[in-house]
Structure 1
């Protein structure tokens, strides 16, 4: 009997930007995709792990987007039930906000950056060259969240819960060189001097999948 699948919680609110959710979901071909802003919700009794995607929405838009509060409660439930969870970009911000942190808009950064990773199984074999496209940042981490990645402009670039199997990253492991044109058109991509070909974000998703599998077998 196969293990319960990972659920990819898609958070994009504008159809023209859904390509980043598509790219992320492509790393989890057996996943259940959940369109959270459209009202779909994952059944936590039937999933082994959660991945929370990016979004052009802001986590502070809760008055206009009531689903954001629903997803914050989803994070709290996942922590309580110890369901392995990975938050990416908006997911990174939402997790930290759900657990009492703060998120602020500081202006768009869209480029390759060099990250500094802690010794963590999520980052095993992952290149420090990573792509970002975001305007919001986590300025104070959530309760029990520790910083496990940083960049020269951003201290809380990645976080992990002290007790629960919960990880978050500000960068986009799903971005590949094939998306460079879309990113340039949509976010004003800045050529930073780093090479897109040196990024290997798919490895991070492989590591998370291994974490989920190990948790399901334990």
Structure 2
């Protein structure tokens, strides 16, 4: 399913890949929080073909209830891995979120495993001083049990948490960034996840994770301006 959500005249085009197997998985929030862009959203589990990359200036690979190792039961994951390879080859700016973080690293030869523990709360992370994290405080929301235990080839660590040293990564040459946390998870949508969300010692007032999406948009804009 391919949806065009809105157009900002003269704006860049960002494709949001929705990996919700059933119901919603916050891809709509990702699209809503991207500042004033031409945003297109494609649901991979329910789609038959890959979305077009024509005129696309950036791609966000969103979260999923599936794991990157679920290919036998979720054949769309195999297609998406090939799609990610295409994005990387074309050097289109790419942001992987949660499942997307894991998928991108696995595509590049990394390792993803189930940690055996579900984490659905605010955590403290150590984030590098890079443009993607400008204005992002160290308290971020997570909803996952799978973790990256070995990053992909060319990926360097730019974020750690006390339970995972590969909490955020970026490619040392290509415009690729990945984060384990959900920058789109805000207090406004928390009630939708009340059955699974756990409170921690941290407050959403201490979190500015949504800035990650604004910063990614800026990275796409700057790259487009240079190429022009």
| Equivalent residue in structure 1 for 2:170, among 157, 160, 178 | 160
Residue deviations 1:1-39 (CA, integer Å, cap 9, x gap) = 725510001011011xx1512211211363011111112
Matches within 5 A, 1:4-153: 4-15=12-23, 18-28=24-34, 30-39=38-47, 40-106=49-115, 107-153=117-163
Deviation, 1:215, is 0.8
Residue 180 of structure 2 corresponds to 170
In structure 2, distance between residues paired with 1:197 and 1:178? 12
Q: Which has the higher helix share?
A: 1
Q: 1:41 to 1:3 in 2, by over 3 A?
A: farther
Q: Which runs of 5+ in 2 are unaligned?
A: 1-8
Q: Secondary structure at the match of 1:216?
A: helix
What is the aligned length? 214
Residue deviations 1:138-169 (CA, integer Å, cap 9, x gap) = 11111111110001111100000111100000
In structure 2, distance between residues paired with 1:207 and 1:103? 26
Q: Which runs of 5+ in 1 are unaligned?
A: none
Deviation, 1:197, is 1.7
Deviation, 1:103, is 0.7
**Contact 1:3 1:216 (C-alpha < 8 Å) held by counterparts:** no
TM-score w.r.t. length of structure 1: 0.93
Moved over 3 A (4+): none
**Contact 1:52 1:91 (C-alpha < 8 Å) held by counterparts:** yes
Residue 181 of structure 1 corresponds to 191
In structure 2, distance between residues paired with 1:210 and 1:66? 33
**Contact 1:112 1:194 (C-alpha < 8 Å) held by counterparts:** yes
**Contact 2:121 2:200 (C-alpha < 8 Å) held by counterparts:** yes
Q: Secondary structure at the match of 1:208?
A: helix
Q: Which moved more, 1:171-180 or 1:47-56?
A: 171-180
Q: Give RMSD over aligned pairs.
A: 1.4
In structure 2, distance between residues paired with 1:208 and 1:70? 24
In structure 2, distance between residues paired with 1:190 and 1:145? 31
Q: 1:123 to 1:217 in 2, by over 3 A?
A: same
**Contact 1:3 1:48 (C-alpha < 8 Å) held by counterparts:** no
Deviation, 1:80, is 1.3
